[in-house]
Amino acid sequence: MKILLDFFPIALFFGAYKFYGIYAGTAVLMAATVLQMALVYAIDRRLQTMHKVTLALILLFGTLTLALQDERFIKWKPTVLYGALALALAVGLWGLRRNFLEMLLGNQLRLAPGVWLRLNIAWIVYCALMSALNAYVVLNFSTDAWVDFKLWGYAFPLVFLIGQGVYIAPHLKDDEPAA
């Protein structure tokens, strides 16, 4: 159910874009993301930091896109989001000596410090690569190609998350001590 909720805004954006263009698609994306966050809040009774950042960036870049009638803003939003995540995780890890990923997910997953370190580095690399890849597509391809990339590019996070799950599964610590 939650995975469908995650893809709901991009699916509606894609449909609106194909029928009505980038500006209608942007407005639909903004409205769908607000609805998505309301549903997440209704289910979990809270929004995680990532939800809040994503919502803020979609509303900011969407508003700029619509107000200025300039599609570049909505196209650059993923680059900014992924770049900011990579930078925040890197500064946290190497500058502040804090593993933000562990701070965010440590209550949900019990992992050894070395596993958290490798996961954090994997997230830094992944976010930096996704930021660069989106920037490359924005700079070198049409808006149609970028929208197709956004739709089919959802394979990247799915593969990354599945790979991450495969990696952490053997490292999960049980709450109960072994008999």
Domain boundaries, the chain: 1-62, 71-174
The pLDDT of residue 48 is 83
pLDDT of residue 50: 80
Classify residue 94 by its DSSP letter: I
Q: Is the pLDDT of residue 177 over 70?
A: no
Cα dist from 44 to 47, 79, 93, whole Å = 7, 28, 28
Distance CA 82, CA 90 (A): 12
- Tokens 């990339």 found at: 149
**Mean pLDDT, residues 99-122 taken together:** 89
**Residues 100-123, mean pLDDT to the nearest whole number:** 89
pLDDT of residue 2: 65
Q: Kindly state the DSSP code that residue 95 receives in the 8-state scheme.
A: I
Average pLDDT of the chain?
A: 89
In this structure, of 46-50, 71-75, 119-123, the range with the lowest mean pLDDT score is 46-50
Distance CA 143, CA 152 (A): 14
In this predicted model, what pLDDT tens digit does every residue of 54-108 receive, in sequence order? Answer: 899 999 999 999 999 999 999 999 999 899 999 999 999 999 999 998 988 877 8
Mean pLDDT of 169-176: 70
What pLDDT does 154 receive? 78
